[in-house]
Structure 1
């Protein structure tokens, strides 16, 4: 049976909805043996090839290609093979397309492939982000003598711009007329996008003037790209002028134009300016502005959330609900992320539960957003409850979920729990990625577990993890932090030749890694690496060696940034070399780096440590002259200097000055003043600052504990007792409060009944505290002859002692945690070895112990923290 070419094409198109049936028909009608083998009709061949490629029917596509290879070599056979290769490329099949192309070049060396095939391959290479392949294909075109067209140049320029090589793209653009290709609107658009991406929007604007020379006119896309670039660079005036220029040229700005401007303004932190545009789009119909779409609302919602304008965001969400723009999970996730970022975790949890009821099913990202927020606040129990909610909805935790939970436990220093999470993660088929491993590695170095960190590196090597620069920087930072600077320097030096294999200096299995010096992806030190190393050297006082490392990094073409200069300033200030620190400041300015508030804060900190108040004031005036805004730390250093210099009353007006400058004083600001005023015995003024702190910072536990400590230190035990009782009523923990010292001072001052009352209140409130707190009261009652009351307290002390030594007994945040004292002799066990005349208390304790048959006091067992067991059974 034979059909004409046009009939076969029609038959195939009618069956395009069923690629398998179309293929069977094509084989039957076009690939049947005939007296003189020849390629199938070109149009039919192109159509079936593309149909197979888009359906990812690779065996059939390879079968077709093999059939063509068996045909006699001819121009038509070459064209047919090229058609199959082009179809594979158009269908997004990179590897088969390259294979077919290589076969074509090999079988028909004297027959150059058609330009269409090159264009299809170039387009796919660009989409696959294979800049290396784009260059190879272009060079092959030139070798084969295939003349590129404008489309070819556009793809090449897009590839160059995408890899940050804008100058090379511009050279190629300028060559187009010389190659007989006139740039079109797309050519200009590619180059404009490249310039704007590099934050060079003014150069992109200059291209608009060249378009007329080639008979091109700027379109909306080009205008929108430049407008967005101007906004992103903070050139708001230029963006507004360009919008007006659009109108003059007869182009009406569309919603994309306004969305671009709003998005860029929000990213630049100019949320109120973005909101002005948004409001005009909603209300000002006379200007003929486009109405906001869902993207517009999402941009505005994200901007409010990022800027911390949570109430404005809430009002917008209510408006979106009324307009029907709050029905997409992506929009809900924006609001979830905003709530979490601004500490509204309870609201985020409620929104998560509400989404399903409103017909918007949360996805995995929704749950991960909330889990991440809870873990960052170390609310691990609540995070697990959200994971339970996720599993009930049929969504399984992924590697991101487990990594987030694992990071939460690592941030709390709970490595044994991280071990169990890793076990569960692997058992559920979610294998840790490099990011997970880096979190564990950082946690181990942070805790000083050097052997475990070394073992983790070895395990990562065994499991085939390719370490990145982050991994190397974590190790280098850990070595610096633990005083192993020589090893850190050795690794950095070795990385230039061996990449991550230089970690073999630690003595682990990385010693056996193959030298990857020829690998273009080799880990080499970056600016962060040198920042870590220089910081470690500066902290250790090795400032000359730090300077040598600075010269080394510059010799390696790694330019220092302002942070590097700040590290040197901090190092000099820490070691009292203020003149050298100021030389770094002036050198920094000469090199074109603008000092920041952080830079000046470091200098002020150094001057404060030397009590050079006049120099601090000069530096603050210099900041004002340079329009560098002070922050809360700047003021805190100044307050500290004034207070330590006996000038606390001169520091008092600084609180008001901070508020006038929109700088919110923190607990440290008020704490410095409270301490200084209490030391000066001006308790009325201290009390006023205390209430000011509560008004400004909120009812924070730290403020109460600070005031209570100062009252106790200054002999105001009764006032401290009253404040501590207020703290009880507010449900604060008591670990930061000087409850032991207060009770002891009350007993010394013949206020035994007050001390006993405070002790009973603590017991009645359910606090768990150091049993040694009972001793001064028991001693005082015994000396006073109140034997029965002393016995009752002794029994309560032993109950407290039994609870105190139970592992993991503190689970409720309402309980005070065990207070770590400077000396172990303050621990309650030390009363058995005291020799301070407390015979009555000692006898009572021994009598109670014998009566209960307790024997010796139990000691908690050490925990096993080897989390690497989780990998032992995995392949």
Structure 2
């Protein structure tokens, strides 16, 4: 056995064990140094894979030089195989270097088509469309005839980049290039049309595939089309495709059913989707595919979106039994559903369960819960959750901080938002466009237009792309500040310049931006138009709003119920009910379904005009169309009936509300109480009050309304009894017009009842306006009951003295609370009737006496403090 043979065996043995890649590489180099050694074709890609696995990427260049020392034919074939191996490993740039070396080193021999195919496919996977075009042009120059596989790759690239027309042209030219389209060619193009929402054209291709080319569609093509039609809401066409699929000898699989279930859930037909899942699980006679994890996850998400919490909980239990919670994706669906429905405590328990069962929560898992906590204003809990995720080895990302930032900005806590931004940058987690949009929205909301413009400028300087959301924030801010013309100018400019249309709003590069790039990334959407149309309607410029609406439709932006409701609201507000109804019928004609708000606006307008019969007809129309009636619908009707004097009919609406599971609110009962009192039917009013109390709780506002109704109609003793009963129930006396009650009692010579109220408020621990004593003291004085008047004066002074000395002991001013709160809440006497008492001069000496007592305990001055200047949001941009 010669030396070369022994080395080859040693190399192969070491390659198979692959325990020492460095030794393999040394053996290989030693072999190539032998003049008599001819490199086998399979050796070069084998060594290349070993080097890549060992992350010895730099040695590939040395391998390239060694291969060039081999005979030309061996060298060429080996370099082709190395280039293919390197490309398939994801090292595209190194593969292109090998490819160019082949093109330059062997100018008379074009690279084989399969090398082009590999490079094209990898370029497509790496999202490098420019390389796809470059490589295809090189094929044409080199005279390499493309295969069907080659053209399929090119079509896939065009479809993915939205160039469907170019893909179609290439498809049509395939026979001219000597390539017959196969089922994959049709599948790529059908998927492209489906992805762009052109299901009808995709279906035409299916017909062409079967009739013109005699190709049989596979299961993937059918599933793609069925999914497309389901997403477009064209369920009947999807069902026909399923039957056509069966007729072609293909059985619908779980993917087919998942598309159907997903579309039903998206359409809100969750019950129908759930029935299909149940059949898949239990009905073996139908020979349906068994549901998989995606089926259960889709169904669970649909139940939570619909708010069917009991059904969702039952499905979760079933998924647990069947072991569906083995992966983090299912847990994330569960978490998101709980958070969407405000079940934040349960969501935190789910996180703990995940950790306990060895399923590590992803950053997305934590962000779901943190976002939910922030949206509910539970910011300290969100901070706690961030600490938990750190303790479990997951670092917060830009989304985490953005959620927290949004929470603080929504609460108006700018200082805390600044701290979050500072912490975010300190931890090398830099803001993205979404983060900047949160800050931008917060600044516009607070009217800080100058700071908003500076932030826009900084976004440009830092290279943040301004998207449609950014432009919509600016448009919204301009509309709110009355700069509608500027907003319209930006909207029109977005079609030409994209985000550069912001112009002097902080984006000074309007003429430097490539129109095509800017347009693709930032085009006006429905929100852009809705915002400006709403602003124009509010400003009374409805004709301009209508013209803008027509332009929007011409731009193929489909209007929704929000934009139609804007017009309906304007017409209803201005008494143009017939115009509002024309808008309603137009939106129905255009296929836009009216919603509850649409009808509520019309019902409100009809009620203002006293057209009750028309209102009832409109409500019946809502019921016939399955549009739910809400509290505003019923309250509008109650108000109309009460205004028309049909109080008994209004009362019967309460029964219908409860049967429809729409619970009346305080406004419902306020309208009925006022209507009954207006008819002097106080017994009925009090009965409504009791019902309202049982449903809404002991709401002070209802009792105070009843008290005022009694007083305005001279029922002073009834008002007195109501107030005493309310205090016995523990209601807050400060929410009542107790001073008016005391004055009315005194006017009606009911001094003893007035004294009892004062005494009860003192005994029950309420602090109230000291001026409340004065009507009783004056009344006793006029009667000549000087002794009793002096006793009350002493009680009043004792109360004032006690509060004053307590204030002095704490060296601080009173918090400005309403009078009538329990004694543990301290009150400020500024801005109340007590000031009037201090300026009275009735010769009784009371004023001087009071002032002396006040001067001892009050008016101690205040302590000034120097506040450290807080940093603004933009300061952190300067520092980092």
Q: Could you say which TM-score interval applies, normalised by the shorter chain? A: 0.7 to 0.9
| Counterparts in 2 of 1:417 and 1:75: CA distance versus 1, 3 Å | same
| Counterparts in 2 of 1:429 and 1:636: CA distance versus 1, 3 Å | same
Q: Is the 8 A contact 1:778 1:793 kept in 2?
A: no
Q: Which residue matches 2:16?
A: 14
Q: Which residue matches 2:185?
A: 187
Q: 1:614 and 1:377 mapped to 2: Cα distance?
A: 42
Q: 1:724 and 1:90 mapped to 2: Cα distance?
A: 81
Matched residue SS, 2:396: coil
Q: 2:240 and 2:823 mapped to 1: Cα distance?
A: 63
Q: Which residue matches 2:512?
A: 515
> For residues 221-260 of structure 1, what are the structure 2 equivalents within 5 Å?
221-236=220-235, 239=238, 251-260=250-259
Matched residue SS, 2:737: helix
Q: 1:144 and 1:845 mapped to 2: Cα distance?
A: 107
> For residues 704-719 of structure 1, what are the structure 2 equivalents within 5 Å?
704-714=699-709, 715=711, 716=719, 718-719=721-722
| Counterparts in 2 of 1:29 and 1:446: CA distance versus 1, 3 Å | same
Q: Which residue matches 1:128?
A: 126
| Counterparts in 2 of 1:88 and 1:568: CA distance versus 1, 3 Å | farther
Q: Which moved further from structure 2: 486-495 or 464-473?
A: 486-495
TM-score if structure 2 supplies the norm length?
A: 0.81
Q: How many angstroms does 1:220 deviate by?
A: 3.8
Q: 1:614 and 1:866 mapped to 2: Cα distance?
A: 60
2:872 paired with 1:867: yes
Q: Which moved further from structure 2: 308-317 or 323-332?
A: 323-332
Q: 1:400 and 1:252 mapped to 2: Cα distance?
A: 43
Q: 2:665 and 2:80 mapped to 1: Cα distance?
A: 71
Q: Is the 8 A contact 2:8 2:31 kept in 1?
A: no
Matched residue SS, 1:786: helix
Q: How many angstroms does 1:471 deviate by?
A: 1.3
Count of equivalent residues: 844
CA deviations 1:662-694 (Å, max 9, x no partner) are: 666555555544554455454554555556667
When Rg is computed on C-alpha atoms for both structures, the one with the higher figure is 2
Q: Which residue matches 1:741?
A: 737
Q: How many angstroms does 1:482 deviate by?
A: 1.7
Q: Is the 8 A contact 1:805 1:858 kept in 2?
A: no
Q: Is the 8 A contact 1:230 1:239 kept in 2?
A: yes
Q: Which residue matches 1:344?
A: 343
Q: Which residue matches 1:150?
A: 148
Q: Which residue matches 2:856?
A: 851
Q: How many angstroms does 1:397 deviate by?
A: 2.6
- CA-atom RMSD in angstroms: 4.6
Q: How many angstroms does 1:398 deviate by?
A: 2.5
Q: Is the 8 A contact 1:743 1:755 kept in 2?
A: no
Q: 2:167 and 2:175 mapped to 1: Cα distance?
A: 14
| Counterparts in 2 of 1:136 and 1:867: CA distance versus 1, 3 Å | same
Q: Which residue matches 1:369?
A: 368
Q: State which of 108, 116, 119 in structure 1 corresponds to 2:117.
A: 119
Q: Which moved further from structure 2: 162-171 or 119-128?
A: 162-171
Q: Which residue matches 1:414?
A: 413
Q: Which moved further from structure 2: 86-95 or 510-519?
A: 510-519
Q: Is the 8 A contact 2:837 2:847 kept in 1?
A: no
Q: Which residue matches 1:534?
A: 533
> For residues 165-564 of structure 1, what are the structure 2 equivalents within 5 Å?
165-166=163-164, 169-199=167-197, 214=213, 216-236=215-235, 239=238, 251-495=250-494, 498-506=497-505, 508=506, 510-511=507-508, 515-518=512-515, 520-522=517-519, 523-550=522-549, 553=552, 563-564=562-563
Q: How many angstroms does 1:481 deviate by?
A: 0.6
Q: How many angstroms does 1:517 deviate by?
A: 3.9
Q: State which of 18, 29, 32 in structure 1 corresponds to 2:31.
A: 29
Q: Which moved further from structure 2: 539-548 or 562-571?
A: 562-571
Q: How many angstroms does 1:646 deviate by?
A: 3.9
Q: 1:840 and 1:681 mapped to 2: Cα distance?
A: 45
Tell me: higher relative CO, structure 1 or 2? Use CA pairs within 8 A at least 6 residues apart.
Answer: 1
Q: 2:425 and 2:815 mapped to 1: Cα distance?
A: 28
Q: Which residue matches 1:45?
A: 44
- Give the gaps of 5 or more residues in structure 2: 712-718, 746-752, 779-788
Q: Is the 8 A contact 1:426 1:870 kept in 2?
A: no
CA deviations 1:290-341 (Å, max 9, x no partner) are: 4444444333322322221112222222333333333433333322222221
| Counterparts in 2 of 1:221 and 1:96: CA distance versus 1, 3 Å | same
Q: Is the 8 A contact 1:161 1:169 kept in 2?
A: yes
| Counterparts in 2 of 1:239 and 1:496: CA distance versus 1, 3 Å | closer
TM-score if structure 1 supplies the norm length?
A: 0.82
Q: Is the 8 A contact 1:752 1:780 kept in 2?
A: no
